[in-house]
Amino acid sequence: MEYQVTARKWRPQKFDEVVGQEHITSTLKNALKSGRIAHAFLFTGPRGVGKTTTARILAKSLNCENSKDFEPCNKCSMCKSISNSQTMDIIEIDGASNRGIDEIRTLRESVKYAPTQGKYKVYIIDEVHMLTKESFNAFLKTLEEPPAHTIFIFATTDIHKVPLTIISRCQRFDFRRIQIDVIKAQLSMIAKEEEIYIDDKTLTTISKKADGALRDAESYFDQVVTFCGNKIDFKTVSKMLNLIDEELYFNLSDAVLNKNFKAVFETTYVLYKNGWDFIDFLDGLGEHFRNILSVIVTNKTSLIESADVFRKRYAEYIDTFSKGDLIRLLNYVNKTQQEIRYSQNQRLKIEIALTHLIGMERTQTISEIINDIDSISVSKNNNYNVSEPHKKTSRSIEIPDESSDLPSNKKSVKNETIKSATIDNELVIPVSVPENFNDVVSTWQNLVESVQQERALLLGGLMNSLQLIDFDGQNLTLSTSSEEVQTDLILHRDYIDKKIYQIFGKKLGIRFGEIKTQKNEEKSKKTKKKKEIDPIEKLIVDKLGGEEIG
CA 27 to centroid of chain Cα atoms? 37
Residue 357 phi, psi (nearest 5): -60, -45
Q: Are strands 421-423 and 426-428 parallel, antiparallel or unpaired?
A: antiparallel
Cα distance between residue 418 and residue 430, in whole Å:
7
Residue 231 phi, psi (nearest 5): -125, 110
pLDDT in tens, 435-494: 678 888 888 888 888 888 777 766 777 787 788 888 887 888 888 767 777 777 777 788
Cα distance between residue 10 and residue 16, in whole Å:
13
Q: What share of the chain is helix, strand, coil (3-state, %, to 5)?
A: 55, 10, 35
DSSP collapsed to 3 states, 152-213: EEEEECCHHHCCHHHHCCCEEEECCCCCHHHHHHHHHHHHHHCCCECCHHHHHHHHHHHCCC
For residue 284, name the pLDDT band (cuts at 50, 70, 90). Answer: very high
Of 34-43, 53-62, 394-403, 534-543, the one with minimum mean pLDDT is 394-403
**CA neighbor of 125 nearest in space, from 61, 70, 59:** 59
For residue 38, what pLDDT is reported? 93
For residue 274, name the pLDDT band (cuts at 50, 70, 90). Answer: confident
Which residue intervals of the chain bear CATH 3.30.300.180?
397-544
pLDDT in tens, 86-120: 888 899 998 888 888 888 888 888 888 888 888 89
Task: State yes or no: pLDDT of 534 exceeds 80.
Answer: no
For residues 125-154, average pLDDT? 90
* DSSP code at position 517: S
* DSSP code at position 219: H
Cα distance between residue 534 and residue 537, in whole Å:
5
Mean model confidence pLDDT for the chain: 80
Task: State yes or no: pLDDT of 198 exceeds 70.
Answer: yes
Cα distance between residue 202 and residue 218, in whole Å:
13
- Amino acid, single-letter form, for residue 527: T
**CA neighbor of 208 nearest in space, from 236, 246, 239:** 246
Four-way CATH pick for 180-241: 1.10.10.410, 1.20.120.80, 2.40.420.20, 1.10.8.60: 1.10.8.60
Task: Check if the beta carbon of residue 388 is closer than 8 Å to that of residue 364.
Answer: no
Say which CATH class 6-174 falls into: alpha beta
Size of the chain, expressed as the number of residues it contains: 550
Cα distance between residue 283 and residue 333, in whole Å:
9
DSSP collapsed to 3 states, 117-150: CCCCEEEEEECHHHCCHHHHHHHHHHHHCCCCCE
Q: Is 270 left (phi over 0), alpha (psi -120 to 50) or beta?
A: alpha
pLDDT in tens, 34-52: 989 999 999 999 999 999 9
**CA neighbor of 434 nearest in space, from 508, 373, 496:** 508
Neighbours of 20 (CB within 10 A): 21
Of 59-63, 131-135, 485-489, the one with minimum mean pLDDT is 485-489
Task: Check if the beta carbon of residue 512 is closer than 8 Å to that of residue 477.
Answer: yes
Cα distance between residue 398 and residue 412, in whole Å:
5
Cα distance between residue 170 and residue 155, in whole Å:
11
Cα distance between residue 94 and residue 539, in whole Å:
93
Cα distance between residue 416 and residue 443, in whole Å:
12
pLDDT in tens, 380-426: 555 444 334 443 333 333 334 434 343 333 333 333 333 334 444 44
Q: Is 229 left (phi over 0), alpha (psi -120 to 50) or beta?
A: left
Which residue intervals of the chain bear CATH 1.10.8.60?
180-241
**CA neighbor of 187 nearest in space, from 175, 177, 201, 173:** 201
* DSSP code at position 114: P
For residue 372, name the pLDDT band (cuts at 50, 70, 90). Answer: low
Cα distance between residue 106 and residue 483, in whole Å:
100
Residue 423 phi, psi (nearest 5): -130, 125
Q: Is 429 helix (H, G, I), strand (E, B) or coil?
A: coil
Give the CATH architecture of domain 247-359.
Up-down Bundle (1.20)
Task: Check if the beta carbon of residue 256 is closer than 8 Å to that of residue 359.
Answer: no
Give the CATH architecture of domain 397-544.
2-Layer Sandwich (3.30)
For residue 369, what pLDDT is reported? 63
Which residue intervals of the chain bear CATH 3.40.50.300?
6-174
